[in-house]
Amino acid sequence: MVFLRNIKYAVYTAFFIIIAGALSGGIIMAENKYNKLTPEEEYVIIHKGTEKPFSGKYYKFSEKGTYHCKRCGAPLYRSEDKFDSGCGWPSFDDEIPEAVKRQKDADGIRTEILCAKCGAHLGHIFEGEGFTPKDVRHCVNSVSLTFSPSKEDRSMKKAYYAGGCFWGVEYLFEKKKGVIDAVSGYMGGHKKNPTYEEVCSHTTGHREVVEVTYNPEEISYEELTKYFFEIHDPTQADGQGPDIGEQYKSAIFYNNEEEKKIAGKLIDVLKKKGYKVVTELIPASEFYKAEEYHQDYYTKHKKEPYCHIYKKRF
């Protein structure tokens, strides 16, 4: 009988090990399905940190659409529920039903809000402040969110420009009428998801590129590209200003032959004016958003570009 009990125990043990392994494997597989996060995103989303107030991309953002979880992509909030509370972080007075969950914060006082699907840390929820008739404020970190425009905003287009340090290019494009958004990132290399340090090591082939989202009904691709040639020096071959190296070289990454044709025509116009333009025309490839601390750099630090100044050339 003892022998039989030992056999049964061994069988049950093996069974539970197999089940645990399968569950563990499932968890690992599920984890691998999540979006890759930068260290800054992990600090907030995984380790429950907080981004600096007034620094987030979506704090003063008013486009129509849906806000999703940065980690898993689940829809969380709608733009019609967003309001400006003046607190320095995006504020919402309602969530998409069953999209977020609440739990007592580690400080034992506040209520934390998390993505109901993946558990990503979003921020905190407050009541009784009187900001809106619903009297609720979801205080959310921009870094925990991504945004998708509503159908009426999907006519927006994207253009890609490399003109030295992306801080200055992004800063000036964001001030141009017709531009919806400008994002710093990397393009043109051979490594997936490069880091800033890897790009600076000149081993990935990437350039510092700004992704410009614009409304073609307000500004044309040609006007946008003219502006690009006027906010950096397209005749400097080794970089831009004091920033020297492959990652800082001037280039336009075109999405199609029409964009290539327009950019080429503008280069010809500049050459006829006497400018020895060295800007390269390169087919657009995958764009990788740069780390969060690079986004809106000059705005966050209340500074202005040191090597990007508007100069009329057309």
The residue from 69, 115, 118, 139 that is catalytic is 139
Which sign does the torsion angle of CA 230, 231, 233, 235 carry?
A: negative
Q: Which two tokens stand for residue 123?
A: 């921020």
Indicate the SS3 state at residue 307: coil
Percent helix, strand and coil across the chain, each to the nearest 5: 30, 25, 45
Q: Which two tokens stand for residue 135?
A: 């009297």
Calpha distance 259→236 (Å, rounded):
22
Residue 159 phi/psi, 5° resolution?
Answer: -135, 155
Cβ neighbours, 10 Å, residue 273: 10
Strand ranges for 134-259 from DSSP E: 136-140, 145-149, 157-162, 179-187, 207-214, 239-240, 243-244, 251-254
Amino acid identity, position 129? E
Active site residue 115: no
Alpha helices in 33-137 (DSSP H): 39-45
Residue 241 phi/psi, 5° resolution?
Answer: 60, -135
Q: Which two tokens stand for residue 136?
A: 């609720």
The residue from 69, 118, 165, 307 that is catalytic is 165
Indicate the SS3 state at residue 149: strand
Calpha distance 234→270 (Å, rounded):
10
Positions marked active-site? 139, 165
